[in-house]
Every structure is written in C-alpha cells, then in structure tokens.
Amino acid sequence: MEPEEFRKYGHEVVDWIADYLADPAKHPVLSRVQPGDIARRLPPLPPATSEPMSRILEDFEKIILPGITHWNHPGFMAYFSITGSAPGILGEMLSAALNVNGMLWRTSPAATELEEVVLDWLRTMLGLPDSFKGVITDTASVSSLVAIAAAREHLHRNIRERGMSGRSDLPPLRLYCSEHAHSSIEKGAITLGIGHEGVRKIASDESFCMRADLLAATIVEDRKQGFLPFCVVATVGTTSTTSIDPVPAIAEICRHENLWLHVDGAYGGVSGLVPELRHHLDGCAESHSLVVNPHKWLFTPIDCSVLYTRRTDILRQAFSLVPEYLKTADANVTNYMDWGVQLGRRFRSLKLWFVIRSFGVDGLAANIREHCRLANMFASWVKADPAYELLAPVPFSVACFRFHPAGVNDEQELERLNSRILDTVNASGKVFLSHTKLNGRYTLRVAIGNLATTEEHVRSAWEQVRSAAKQ
Amino acid sequence: MEPEEFRKYGHEVVDWIADYLADPAKHPVLSRVQPGDIARRLPPLPPATSEPMSRILEDFEKIILPGITHWNHPGFMAYFSITGSAPGILGEMLSAALNVNGMLWRTSPAATELEEVVLDWLRTMLGLPDSFKGVITDTASVSSLVAIAAAREHLHRNIRERGMSGRSDLPPLRLYCSEHAHSSIEKGAITLGIGHEGVRKIASDESFCMRADLLAATIVEDRKQGFLPFCVVATVGTTSTTSIDPVPAIAEICRHENLWLHVDGAYGGVSGLVPELRHHLDGCAESHSLVVNPHKWLFTPIDCSVLYTRRTDILRQAFSLVPEYLKTADANVTNYMDWGVQLGRRFRSLKLWFVIRSFGVDGLAANIREHCRLANMFASWVKADPAYELLAPVPFSVACFRFHPAGVNDEQELERLNSRILDTVNASGKVFLSHTKLNGRYTLRVAIGNLATTEEHVRSAWEQVRSAAKQ
C-alpha cells in the first residue's frame, strides 16, 4: 500500500473512530453473537491476491463489529472497566507507524529514555520514593511473574544457574498471598516452577483483606516444616472486591523474615495519585516491587503494565542475558531487554506520555475520584433497598452486591436468582456486569472505570438490575 | 478529549504518518543522540493540568523523533529488519480504538474467532497440518517460554502442582538446542526454573546447523548420568546466520526419546509460504510446537508472535486457571487466557488479517522472495571481492561477511577493522548494520526485511562498507 493510499484510508479510519467514540452506546455492550458465528462468516482460506482496503474495512464493520464486546461502552461495568482514551489512541497510532522495537537503548534511545522519564513521572504521581525504577511490560501477569522471578533470585540460591530440580540443597519454595490475590499470581508461580502447592493462600478478614497475623504464623510454621519462604504478594485492590491488604503490617513481616514483598496494584495502584486515596498505598514504599496497570484505570489503551522495583540489581541478575548479536558499546544506558522475559518491546511509553500530558495529573485524579463516587453512589442505593445486600466495602470504584429478598436464605437459590439477574441484565445490551463469589456467596459486581460512564449510566444499571429481579 | 478533537488530531497524525512513510530515509536510520539527550529535554515532573494536543505533537516531533532509530528506514539492515506495513498500521488504529481485552471468548467473540481463523490461514500458508492450532502472543520470547512450559508439563511429573524443588523424585531437567539458538530459549529455561545448566547447547556443523548425531549422543549420555531430558528446540533461521537445523533428523530423535520438539521459526518460519523455500520447514509438521513472528518478516507491526501447537491439551493443562470471576457459561469456545501466561490480550489478529488480505498470499511471498534475492545479491558481491569473506550460507535474507584484506590474519586485528567499519557505516545515517560472532570471528550482518528496501539501498550498503574499509 502506497503512502497516499494509507493517507486516504487513514482518514477514513480516523473518521470511523471519531464517530465510534462519539457514541459507543449505539452498539450492544456485550456482543450477541453465538459461538462460531464470526468464524462462519470468514473464508476458510486466505486470499491468494491482494484485496482492496475498502473491502477489508467493509468486512470489519459487517463481520467483526457485531462480534465485539464494547469495552468503550459506558455500560461496560464488568471485570475492571477500562478506557482507551483518545490521546492514548493517537499515541498508539504513532507507535504503530514508527514500529520501534525498544529492546536496546540504541534501537531507539527515545523509547528507552521516554519510558524512564514517564515512569518517573508516574512514580512521583503515586508518591513512591525515587529508589523505585520502572519498566513497562504488556500485562500485570508478566509484571508479577517477573517480580516473583526476582524474588526467587533474591534467595541467592543460584537458581538461575543451577535450576530448581534435582537439588538436595533446595527445599520446596513458598510464596504467600491472600485468598483474594489475582489468579495471575498463582499462574506466575506455576510457570516459575514454584508449583501450585508452593502458593500459600492466607485467609482474609471480614473485609477481604489478608490477615497479617495468619501470614506471620504460616511463615513460621512453614520454616519449621522445612519449606523455603521467599516472597509475599500483597494486593492493593483485589479483583473481586478491590480490598486492600494491610501492606504496612505485611512489609514489617517481610522485613523480619527477609522476604521479597511484591505489591499487586494493577488496578488500585493508581489511587496513589488522588490525594485523599493515597493512604491506600501506605507501606508500598517498603515493597521490593509493585505493579500498576495504566491500561486498567489510567485511560491508556491496552496493553501497558508498569513494574516498579527498588532492586533493579536483582531484576537484572535474574534476567540479563546478552548474546554477541545484541552487544553494544553504549555505556551508561538502560537496555530494557535486561529487565524481563521479553526481548521485543513495543514503544508503549509514547501513549502513556500522551495520556498523562493530555489529562494532566489533576485531570486523571478527577476522573478516578468520580469513578469512586459513582460506585459509592451505587452502593448507597443497594444499602437503602432491603431486598439487596452490599457484600463488601467500596474503597475504590467497584461495588459487590446481591439480590437477597426476604425469606430466601438458601445459597443455591440465591445463586440461581442472581445469576439469572446477571444474564437478563447482560442480555439488555445496555449494561455488562460480571460476578464473583465471596465466602461462597454468588456476588454481582458493578465496576466503574470508563470515562464515558456517567451517573445516568450507573442509575440505569441499578434500574436494569431491579427490573431483572422483578421478573 | 472530545471525539471531534480526536478527529482533528487524528487527521493530523494520519497526514504525519503518510508523509513519514513516503520518505523514512529523510531521517538518519540510527539515532544520533547521546545517552541522556532525550531525558534531559523532558520535564522532570508531569504537568498538573491538561496540555493541548498540539503541543504534545510538537514535542513528539521536536524531542522524540531525533531519538528514534528508524526501523522503517530502507537502510535498516541490522538484527532482523522488519516492516510495520500500512495495512497493519490501519489495523492497529482500529485495535487501539476498540481497546478490546480478548481474555475470554465473551469479552469479544470476534477477537477470539478472528484469531482462530487467521491463524488457520497462516497455518495453511506455511503448509502445517490442521492438527496445529495457534495462539497469538506478544513476542517469540513468550511463545517459546510457553512452549517450553508445555514441554515440562508433557513430562507428566506433576510439576504444575508440586513445583520443581525439594523433590527427590525429580532429577535436573535438560533442554537441548543448538549453540546458535536464540537467547530467548535460554532465558525461557532460566525463567521456568530449568536453569542455565539445564540448557545443553549442541554444537553445530560448518553451516551453523545443529549436529543431530551429537544431539542424540548427548541425550543418551544425559540419561545415563541421571538427568531428565524433556525438550529439544530446533531453529529454522537462527539469529546470527539464519541457518536451519536438520528438523527431520531432530524430530526422529525426539520421537525415539519421547521428547517435546519446539521449533523456533520466529524469523524463518514464514518462508513456508514461498513454494521454493517451503522445504526449509521439512519435519516441522512433526514438532509439538512452532513459533513464527508475523512482526518479524510478515510486515505486521510489532507485536505479533504466533505459537502453534498440536498439543493444545498439554498447553491448557500447563496454563489453564479459571478463578470464579472469570467463569462463563459459554460452551464450545476458546478462552485464549487458558493458553498461556498472560490474562490480558490485545486484539492482535485484526492487524494480521489486514496484512494478509491486503497483500494476498502471493504478495507476501513475492516480498519474501525479493528479500532473499537481495541478500544473495549482496553475498555475490562479497564473494566476488577478494578482500571480503562470506562467513555463512545465505538461505534467507541475511548475509554474514567480513572485510579480510590479504595478509591480515590476526583475529583481534580483523575484529578491530570490522568493528570500525561497522561504526563508520552506522554513523553515516544511511545504513544500519549489526554484528555477531561465528566461531570466534567478528562478523558483519546485512539483514534485509523492510518493504522499502530496494536493490539500490543494498548496493549503497555495500558501497558504504567498502568505502569505510578504505579509510
């Protein structure tokens, strides 16, 4: 495709995007297609010869769009609701055009240095000390895996060199997290050879926060039994309820036990930039590593996860591997390939820079604050209605609740009722909610996080729920 | 930013990109900034309030652009040269706008089903059997890590559950690859707890291809010594020379030894779609997994790596982990989060679909063929000049060579000469080459892979080298 043809279709695509962003609610939020519907409409074999872009774009609208669940829809309140904001999209366009692989400083000095500067901006925005240095990865799954690998290296048991199996000098490793930690922590540990059994899930209190007393006791007990504790993962904003583990107490335990403390703030970490919420990051300055995802609640298009650590020495020790063909003479530079699993790296700091500058710190904070207000407003409606139950505190922008009519106390019956409400609401095309389970209770979640979501949409979600419950 | 403002700046950005793509050679290919130059020009703190997009775009041109190494430049012939083609950029724009996280089928059925269909297209294009199913990851580093993790699971030693350390029933694991395998294989093994020592590098023959006889002997020897072989990684297109390991012979050994065979075709795998090159994939149909990177030599913007496997059962066994909050009732669907490390997933199949349709299979093949022709032409000039040495066969689009004037036979002196040639050429701003070492010899590489690169650019690269050698 010649540049002039790109220009023509680029303008078309920009117009399409602008129209789409102007009214994402014109599509049903949850796609209504059935399994196989999209695949069936696509030819089973690729075209032998070039097809015109006009036809490809037509097919995008006709075939692909009906199969999209619209994460941009103001009624998207499932999982964690996110926004790929317009400034972020502009940044992505330029990244795609430059097509930089920022594996080494020299393969685009600006990609590396912008990443360093923007992550330093974000660090100050979150109130973390300047001993923390950051690196962008694709997802929190990878950020946490990398952090746990660093924790393993921090044992100084020569695991990088000798591996983990067949060693009489290496006991089974133990990682600790709350029962509400994200599944990516388990997956990371499994991947790293720690094993499912190596992940000790610590029970939480009635607010779904890790019980530090149980953590301390479990570590002592494990050591007695010959296990090798090496890492604690605390969460600021768990996935089910956004609960916040008691990081200061956990950090104290880690200090005492000489364990690596990783904080999963993939969702909740950004609250540090809102003055009245920053206390939720108390203790995080003492962590060894912390992940926060701008693609979650900082209006940056997916993917963009940030891993901070004050032990870059350990991180590099765990991961740096420089074959001859990647050696350079550049001194005093960061080669981000040394900081993790992936060699190839998109130029992701560009979109984050666009977002932070375009919103300004105050603008970002105002939006996060508003999302918290909306979730708390929803929670207040739940609390005011005797047929409903609020099932968890609302520290951030997610409310957990269920329909609980008088007289119905059988858990299975309540699950049936609420899952039917969920299906009905989600079939409306106006709202998309998801669920979880809390202490065995089937729980509905309303997650606010899209910039287009207003009080009216939240009110409509509540009405959808109540009307579904009546049916 | 309001949609109308996005429209305005979106058009500006498209015009910028079109102009950029029309003449990427107007910039020096290798950025000329010094370490710290970019960071110094950026404010140390983020703006408190919103900045206008016009200023951000101005700074992009003024501050960022000089720090870009232009992977789009026709003179970019370092590492593996790549292209983020115009159709791919259009696809990226739409992906950024939709901002889909395709972790589950229901979070955008079209993202999952398009991925399935397009990867099936690519599979047929490469001539792989339909038992192979694909998944898109970000990088070959991750694709190979996931494949090696599946190989580990394939041992059926309960490593997922019990982990690797502290087990008297689990010997040290052994993975085999050629001494020319990519560093990501070692890094993956280290990450997975196999350890550096667990990676046995098999010597290669005079063409830099793994010696199957040594592989077989090493496995037998390792078993005798109590090690647990589990995986062989063969490479189709190694990074230094693009050599091709003897996959049929290696597959035979893997069958006999019941080992998982992973093929790293990150670069060379796409050759399967060129009829006269397809034989380079002989034996790959017998592999358990194979990685190929559309973002390397299939003109797709970074990042887009594809992992194929005919053992999706093992892959899911290694990685599937479904917490309550991600459970859905959707039956008979693929939830790609079950196929690897990462939960979050960009909608990457869209750009690949755009690329394949816009080029057509024949168009893709023609470009790959042309790149091979250009590299072989360069090699013929090297061979014709007695002051130069061709250091490896040229099966694909990379030529390895060095300046070797009569009478100079000291390796250190030759390294000094050639590394000086490299620096001089790279300082020209017209060509960017990289180096490697082959049997201790410092080697220059010319890697062709950008769509804008023509015979004239390759000729100019040769002239740059010769003129630098004369100095």
Contact B358 A1 (CB under 8 A): yes
Looking at residue A50, what is its pLDDT?
98
Nearest CA-CA distance, residue B405 and chain A, Å: 23
Out of A95, A344, A434, name the one closest to residue B141 (CB): A344
Instruction: State whether residue A89 sits within 8 Å of chain B by CB.
Output: yes
- What's the pLDDT band for A471 if we cut at 50, 70, 90? confident
The pLDDT > 70 percentage for chain B reads 100
- What's the pLDDT band for A368 if we cut at 50, 70, 90? very high
**Which chain B positions have a beta carbon within 8 Å of A161's beta carbon?**
195-197
Q: Which residues contact A45 (CB under 8 A, 6 or more apart)?
A: B121, B124
Looking at residue B166, what is its pLDDT?
97
Compute the count of residue pairs across chains A and B with CB atoms less than 8 Å apart.
545
Cis peptide before B330 (omega within 30 of 0): no
Q: Is residue B60 part of a domain?
A: no
The rounded distance, in Å, linking the Cα atoms of A202 and A145 is: 19
What CATH number should be reported for the domain holding residue A378? 3.90.1150.170
Phi/psi at A214 (nearest 5 deg)?
-70, -35
Q: Is residue B449 part of a domain?
A: yes
B119 and B22, same structural domain?
Answer: no
- Domain count for chain A: 2
Looking at residue A429, what is its pLDDT?
96
Q: Is residue A264 part of a domain?
A: yes
Residues 344-373 (B) with a CB less than 8 A from some CB of A: 344, 346, 350, 353-354, 356-363
The rounded distance, in Å, linking the Cα atoms of A371 and A394 is: 11
Instruction: State whether residue A286 sits within 8 Å of chain B by CB.
Output: no
Please say which residue of B346, B379, B400 terminates a domain: B346
Nearest CA-CA distance, residue A34 and chain B, Å: 8
Residue type, B257: E
pTM above 0.90, yes or no: yes
Out of A65, A108, A360, name the one closest to residue B48 (CB): A360
Pull the structure tokens for residue B387: 């002051």
Out of B56, B141, B360, name the one closest to residue A50 (CB): B360
- For A64, the closest chain B residue by CA position comes to B110
Q: Is residue A234 part of a domain?
A: yes
Contact A163 B141 (CB under 8 A): no
- Residues spanned by the domain of B209: 101-346
- Is B471 a residue whose pLDDT tops 90? no
Distance of CA B24 to the CA centre of its chain: 22
B367 and B284, same structural domain?
Answer: no
Phi-psi region of B193 (alpha: psi -120 to 50; beta: other; left: phi over 0): left
Nearest CA-CA distance, residue A383 and chain B, Å: 23
The rounded distance, in Å, linking the Cα atoms of A369 and B422 is: 54
The rounded distance, in Å, linking the Cα atoms of B301 and B450 is: 12
Q: Which residues contact B215 (CB under 8 A, 6 or more apart)?
A: B176, B202, B232, B250, B253
B305 and B194, same structural domain?
Answer: yes
Looking at residue A304, what is its pLDDT?
98
Instruction: State whether residue B319 sits within 8 Å of chain A by CB.
Output: yes
The rounded distance, in Å, linking the Cα atoms of B261 and B278 is: 19
- What's the pLDDT band for A135 if we cut at 50, 70, 90? very high
Looking at residue B381, what is its pLDDT?
98
Looking at residue B179, what is its pLDDT?
98
A73 and A120, same structural domain?
Answer: no
**ipTM at complex level:** 0.98
B167 and B208, same structural domain?
Answer: yes
Phi/psi at B398 (nearest 5 deg)?
-125, 135
- Is A366 a residue whose pLDDT tops 90? yes
Contact A108 B31 (CB under 8 A): yes
Q: Tell which of B8, B37, B90 to mutate to test the A interface (max A CBs under 10 Å).
A: B90
Nearest CA-CA distance, residue B408 and chain A, Å: 23
Q: Is residue A181 part of a domain?
A: yes
Residues 154-173 (A) with a CB less than 8 A from some CB of B: 159-168, 170-173
Q: Is residue B217 part of a domain?
A: yes
Q: Is residue A161 part of a domain?
A: yes
Closest CA to A6 of B90, B393, B373: B90
Out of A171, A350, A357, name the one closest to residue B51 (CB): A357
The pLDDT > 90 percentage for chain A reads 99
pLDDT digits (tens, 9 = 90+) for A437-467: 999 999 999 999 999 999 999 999 999 999 9
Closest CA to B303 of A303, A94, A2, A112: A303
The rounded distance, in Å, linking the Cα atoms of A151 and A257 is: 13
The per-type count for chain B, helices as H runs and strands as E runs, is: 15, 12
The pLDDT > 70 percentage for chain A reads 100
A321 and A233, same structural domain?
Answer: yes
Instruction: State whether residue B135 sits within 8 Å of chain A by CB.
Output: no
- Is B131 a residue whose pLDDT tops 90? yes
Residues 381-410 (A) with a CB less than 8 A from some CB of B: none
Out of A90, A164, A357, name the one closest to residue B9 (CB): A90
Closest CA to A293 of A310, A316, A271: A271
Q: Is residue B244 part of a domain?
A: yes
Nearest CA-CA distance, residue A172 and chain B, Å: 4
Q: Tell which of A59, A99, A270 to mutate to test the B interface (max B CBs under 10 Å).
A: A99
Please say which residue of A346, A376, A394 terminates a domain: A346
Looking at residue A241, what is its pLDDT?
98
Cis peptide before B303 (omega within 30 of 0): yes
A223 and A81, same structural domain?
Answer: no
A143 and A78, same structural domain?
Answer: no
Instruction: State whether residue B114 sits within 8 Å of chain A by CB.
Output: yes
B322 and B253, same structural domain?
Answer: yes
A190 and A334, same structural domain?
Answer: yes
The per-residue DSSP string of B284-345 comes to GGG-SEEEE-HHHHS---S--EEEEES-HHHHHHHH----GGG-----S---GGGGSS-S--
A183 and A325, same structural domain?
Answer: yes
B161 and B118, same structural domain?
Answer: yes
Residue bearing tokens 């100050």: A124
- Is B207 a residue whose pLDDT tops 90? yes
Q: Are A447 and A398 in contact (CB under 8 A)?
A: yes
Please say which residue of B346, B380, B411 terminates a domain: B346
Q: Are B139 and B305 in contact (CB under 8 A)?
A: yes
- For A162, the closest chain B residue by CA position comes to B195
**Which chain A positions have a beta carbon within 8 Å of B227's beta carbon?**
166
Looking at residue B435, what is its pLDDT?
97
- Is A319 a residue whose pLDDT tops 90? yes
Cβ neighbours around B467 below 10 Å, total: 13
What CATH number should be reported for the domain holding residue A227? 3.40.640.10
